[in-house]
Structure 1
Amino acid sequence: MGRDCRLARSIDILIPWNISLGDRVHIGEHVILYALGPISIGSGTVVDVRAHLCAGSHDMHDTRFPLTRPPITIGEDCFIG
C-alpha cells in the first residue's frame, strides 16, 4: 500500500495479498475488492461507493468451467464509481 491511502471502514477485501495500491488511493464506502487474481490500482485513483472489482471468473468455453484469475490493472488518476 502506498503513502496517504484512504480506505473506508465498510470495504470488503478478499485475498488482500493480491492487491497493490499506489500513493493517494481512495477506496470508498461498501467497495468490494475480490482479488483472486492480482488487482493493481495506480496513484491518485478513486474507487468510489459500491464499486466491485472482481479478479476471478470461469472459462465459459471449457465444459469443465475452470476458475480463471485475470488481473485488473487501473492506471493513475482514474475514477471508478
Structure 2
Amino acid sequence: MRSPSQTRLQDFDAAIGLDRGKPRWFEALWYLVKCFFFLSPLPFPSKLKCYLLRLFGAEVGVGVNIKPRVNIHFPWKLTVGNDCWLGEELFILNFEPVILGNDCCLSQRAFLCCGNHDYRDPTFAFRNAPITVKNGVWVGAQCFVGPGVSIGEETVVTAGSIVTNDLPANCICRGNPAISVGARWRVDNEA
C-alpha cells in the first residue's frame, strides 16, 4: 500500500489545469498541418507558414521568418510580433499563451515550455504558466525557457542557458539558472 506522499501517476487528470482552447477535432487538424508544413525538413515559405498559423488562431506580425522543423503546440495561444526569426527545431510547448515581441530571434533547438507539473502533488497536477519574450530578445541555441518567465527587452540569453526566472532588460544572461552577466548595449560614452 502506498503512503499519501508517494507519486500516483495513474491518478493524473490531464483535464485539470489545462484549457486546450479548441475542440479536439481542431487540434487534430492542426497536428496534420503541423506535421506536413512545420515539422518537415522541407523549406516551405515563411509566408505560407505564417498564413497557416493565422488560420489556426495565432497572431503573427509581418516579416516573420520560420525555419523548418518548428514545433508549435497550440497556435491559437501564440502571438508573434513583427520581424521575428524562429530557428530550426524550435519547440514552443504553449499550454498557456506565449507572446513574442517585435524583432525577437529564437535560435535552433530552443525550447519554450509553458507546461510543468507540481512535483509535491502525488497526482502530478499541472502547474502551467505563460511566457513573455519582449522586443529585441535573442534566445540562443538550445536554451530552455520555463513557465511563467518574462524576458526583458533587448536581452540576450546565451546558448544552452536555462531560464527559470524573469530576466531584466538590456542584459546578456547565461548559465543554469540564467543570470545577468552584463549589459547588452553600451552607452555612447563607454569605451
TM range, smaller chain: over 0.9
Give the TM-score of the pair, scaled to structure 1: 0.92
Q: 1:8-23, aligned counterparts within 5 Å?
A: 8-23=67-82
Q: 1:1-81, aligned counterparts within 5 Å?
A: 1-81=60-140
Q: Secondary structure at the match of 2:63?
A: coil
Give the distance between the partners of 2:89 and 2:123, measured in 1 at CA: 33
Letter in 2 for 1:61: R
Give the TM-score of the pair, scaled to structure 2: 0.41
**For each residue in 1:17-59, what CA deviation from the matched residue of structure 2 results, as whole angstroms up to 9, or x when unmatched?**
1111011111011111111111111100100011011111111
The offset of 1:61, in angstroms, is: 2.7
Give the distance between the partners of 2:74 and 2:127, measured in 1 at CA: 15
The offset of 1:67, in angstroms, is: 1.0
Structure 2, gaps ≥5 residues long: 1-59, 141-191
Structure 1, gaps ≥5 residues long: none
Higher relative contact order (CA 8 A, sep 6+): 1
Determine which structure has more spread, i.e. the larger CA radius of gyration: 2
Give the distance between the partners of 1:38 and 1:59, measured in 2 at CA: 19
Give the distance between the partners of 1:21 and 1:69, measured in 2 at CA: 20
**In proportion to residue count, which structure has more helix?**
2
**In proportion to residue count, which structure has more strand?**
1
Percent identity of the aligned residues? 27
- Runs ≥4 residues deviating over 6 A: none
